[in-house]
Structure 1
Amino acid sequence: MDELFNRALEVIEAAGWYAPVLFVLLHVLRPLLFLPVLLVTVAGGYVFGPIYGAIYSYIGLMGVSVSFYWIIGLMPKLHQKLARLKEKVFANRERMNTWQLLVLRVMPFMHFHVISFYVIEETRDFHHYVKKSAIINASPAVVYTAFGGLIHQLPLPGVLLLVGFLAILAFLVRTKNEQEQANEPQEKYL
């Protein structure tokens, strides 16, 4: 798989003016090739630089999100499988706000499509899904492109520190409802 990915990067680099189109296409095909978002987005920063790499990655991530919306409706078994996985990942959680979803999109261990599935179920229709996806897809496009090389070069303690920081950030941006529930006194049973 790494050889295929490296070959794809070589083709993109040699493609000239239509290289961005090939890169966006690589993003859209990424789930079929079982390539992680992090890898493709970091490659975008390497090939196109941080600004254009982030723009092209964002377009590619939006392409993946939009195609996922339509594909999930056509595949009931995949829909059921993702519903079970979503229940495991988001069990006992109230609705997540946009800030939490932004942070989760950047977490390398969170599956891209589980979050997309969550957004599908939390939005009313395609328009609202695209609107929310447009917001939350910005975080991996910018962070992975700009800091992707740094993340890969960090030693394990640095990566753990970064993940810990993101977890604390996710805790601090809890929904208002969760904060109110946390502040309510617990009833004691005698």
Structure 2
Amino acid sequence: MSRERNHAVAAGGRGKTPWQPVVLIALLTAAVAGVQLSGASEYLQQDRLKVLIASYGTLAPFIYVLIYSLAPVLFLPALPLTLVGGIVFGPVWGVVYTIVGATIGASLAFLVARYAARDWVASRLTGPKWERLQSEVALHGWKVVAFTRLIPAFPFNLLNYAFGLTKIRFAHYVLASFVCMLPATVAFIVFSSSLLDLLSGRVSPAALAGIGLVLAVVLVPVCYRRRKASQGGLAATE
């Protein structure tokens, strides 16, 4: 019965279609249509935003990095901040400032869990999946950090705290997080750097590249889960 149930689950997983890319394209299309119909495109000028940010002078990048660094600690969503980084700072400096802020934020949450509020965090991260995370880190170390950054299986903000409860070295955690968060960071920054053009109805090569990169980032976890489900189903029938 167990083998049949596992095989059925795997077969169901193979039958599902990855809906995330469809939702992403639908939302983007709806946003473009809404902006065009409302006449708001004249306000979505990248130059205007840059002038606004430039009014803060050299403090603008530091303010952005500071806000981004606090977001994971306070459980704030990082995606809106990432989009702002690409729009305001462009595809190069947007990546630099965003990956620095994301790495600092992940590190701060890690240190809070390890040294400042270990018991409080441990009392809230209970259950088999978190216990399995600790055992996997004990066996494979930084490779688990790299894997979960490339193929997110846990909520990002909770994951930062969870790694603080493991025995992984802080330096290994920071380096693996920095390197393996780069692909998604580059994808979303390249996409958002041309987002205002897309909302205004202008499709540039950078916009197409950004959409392709985001779709790739979204599809990686989907393909991985489908592959694992398929392997599980094959293993159950052997």
TM-score, reference length from structure 1: 0.63
Question: Map of 1:13-52 to 2, 5 A cutoff?
Answer: 13-31=54-72, 35-52=76-93
1:128 is aligned to: 172
Deviation at 1:139, TM superposition (A): 3.0
Mapped partners of 2:61, 2:132: distance in 1:
41
Mapped partners of 1:79, 1:91: distance in 2:
11
Kept after mapping to 2: 8 A contact 1:102/1:136: yes
For each residue in 1:159-189, what CA deviation from the matched residue of structure 2 results, as whole angstroms up to 9, or x when unmatched?
A: xxx4872333333786xxx96x7764657xx
The amino acid of 1:29's aligned partner reads: L
Mapped partners of 1:34, 1:26: distance in 2:
12
1:53 aligns with 2:94: yes
Question: Map of 1:54-93 to 2, 5 A cutoff?
Answer: 54-73=95-114, 74-75=116-117, 76-81=119-124, 83-84=125-126, 87=127
Mapped partners of 2:52, 2:112: distance in 1:
28
Instruction: Calculate percent identity across the aligned residue pairs.
Output: 23
Deviation at 1:22, TM superposition (A): 1.0
Mapped partners of 1:125, 1:143: distance in 2:
28
RMSD of Structure 2 on Structure 1 (CA): 4.0
2:221 is aligned to: 167
TM-score, reference length from structure 2: 0.52
Q: 1:115 to 1:54 in 2, by over 3 A?
A: same
- SS of the residue corresponding to residue 104 of structure 1 reads coil
Kept after mapping to 1: 8 A contact 2:73/2:157: no
- SS of the residue corresponding to residue 151 of structure 2 reads helix
Comparing both chains, which one has the higher relative contact order based on Cα–Cα distances under 8 Å and sequence gaps of 6 or more?
2
Q: 1:123 to 1:147 in 2, by over 3 A?
A: farther
- SS of the residue corresponding to residue 124 of structure 1 reads coil
Mapped partners of 2:96, 2:79: distance in 1:
15
Kept after mapping to 2: 8 A contact 1:44/1:145: yes
Deviation at 1:80, TM superposition (A): 2.3
Kept after mapping to 2: 8 A contact 1:100/1:170: no
Greater Rg, structure 1 or structure 2? 2
Unaligned runs of 5+ in 2: 1-49, 137-143, 200-210
Q: 1:11 to 1:69 in 2, by over 3 A?
A: farther
Q: 1:143 to 1:79 in 2, by over 3 A?
A: farther
For each residue in 1:30-57, what CA deviation from the matched residue of structure 2 results, as whole angstroms up to 9, or x when unmatched?
A: 2466531100011000110011111100
